[in-house]
Every structure is written in C-alpha cells, then in structure tokens.
Amino acid sequence: MKKLSNRECQPCTACCDGWVQMNIKGTAVYPGCPCPHSTGKGCNDYANRPLDPCDNFNCGWIIPNSPLPDWMKPGEAKVMVLFNKFQWRGLPVDVALPVGKRIPPRALNWLKQFAEQHGRPLVYLEQEVVDGTFQKDQQAVAYGPPDFQQEVAAKIAQGQRLWR
C-alpha cells in the first residue's frame, strides 16, 4: 500500500472493505459488500489496482501532515476521515465515515472539536442496518453552523448528493 509521511495503510483495509462507497472495475463496493480484491490485510491485485478510485484515494489518516492523531487509524478508531471533500461558503467540509455501524464517541467527539477549532464544517455518516444487514444508503449528519446544517438537510430532503 501507499506510504506517505511516516504512516502506512497496512494492515488497515477500511477503504477496501466497503466503508467507502466506490466502484472497482465495474464492481460496486459499499458497506457489507467489500472490494473482491480485499484480503482484509491488503489487496490481492495491488499491482493492477485502478488509478481511480484506489490510487487516488486520500484517507485523512495517511495524508502528509495529517492532523489526525495516531490512535485514529481507521481500522482501530473505526472512523475514516476525508478532508476537504466539498466546499460550503468557501470553507472546506470534512466527511467522516464509520468503519462499522457508527463512529465511536471518542472519535466523533475529537472530530467535532477539530471542526469547531478550525472552522471546518463536518458531515458524518451512520450506517443503515436492516435485519442485521448493512444497507447501501447511509444517513448523513451535518455538524457546524446552523445555516450549514439547514442547507445539508435541505439537499438531503431533495435527494441531492452532497459531494461527488
């Protein structure tokens, strides 16, 4: 896996295991449906991984100069952070994805505090689970100024995507 700064992905495979919705060579990957190449400790076809989304993916824990503390490695903290996923009124909006049903309180509290201290609105997701099965759809929660929360809620109600 990619090595950036002094952090390494392996053995974390949260992005490959379906917690990030993506399409890998025509195969949909989403919660409950991991990439067919994920071994749980890496990729069994790493040399042939596609540029997009695999090689271009920017996990917030491994990016250079990541503000995330060491304990927030996705496989351990059960959260994956995507910094500056979209913009709102000129501000970067960060997105947090659970590695599991929900983001654990310790990590979510850290992210909320970071959002407040740095003026970065946050959207975090929670998994929809029906009869013990993860659903493809996820519930988005906006954290930040009231106007941001209202605009995100309106977009969701209208069925609009928050980011691409």
Given this model, what pLDDT does residue 2 score?
Answer: 43
Give the start-to-end residue ranges of the domains of the chain: 3-157
Given this model, what pLDDT does residue 95 score?
Answer: 95
Residue of 68, 101, 83 lying closest to 163 (CA atoms)? 83
By the 8 A CB rule, do 48 and 126 touch? Answer: no
Dihedral Cα 97, 101, 105, 107, nearest 10 deg: -30
Share of the chain above pLDDT 70, in %: 96
Average pLDDT on 115-119 reads 97
Share of the chain above pLDDT 90, in %: 47
Per-chain mean pLDDT for the chain? 88
| Beta-strand relationship, 22-24 and 7-8 | unpaired
- Residues ≥6 apart with Cβ < 8 Å to 33: 18, 136
Strands of 91-98's sheet in order across? 79-88, 91-98, 122-130, 133-143
**11 vs 4: CA distance, rounded Å:** 15
Average pLDDT on 74-98 reads 95
pLDDT digits (tens, 9 = 90+) for 7-58: 887 788 888 888 888 888 888 888 888 898 888 888 888 888 888 888 788 8
- Residues ≥6 apart with Cβ < 8 Å to 26: none
Average pLDDT on 60-86 reads 94
Using left for φ > 0, alpha for ψ between -120 and 50, and beta otherwise, residue 32 falls in: left
pLDDT digits (tens, 9 = 90+) for 124-138: 998 877 787 776 778
SS3 114: helix
Report pTM: 0.87
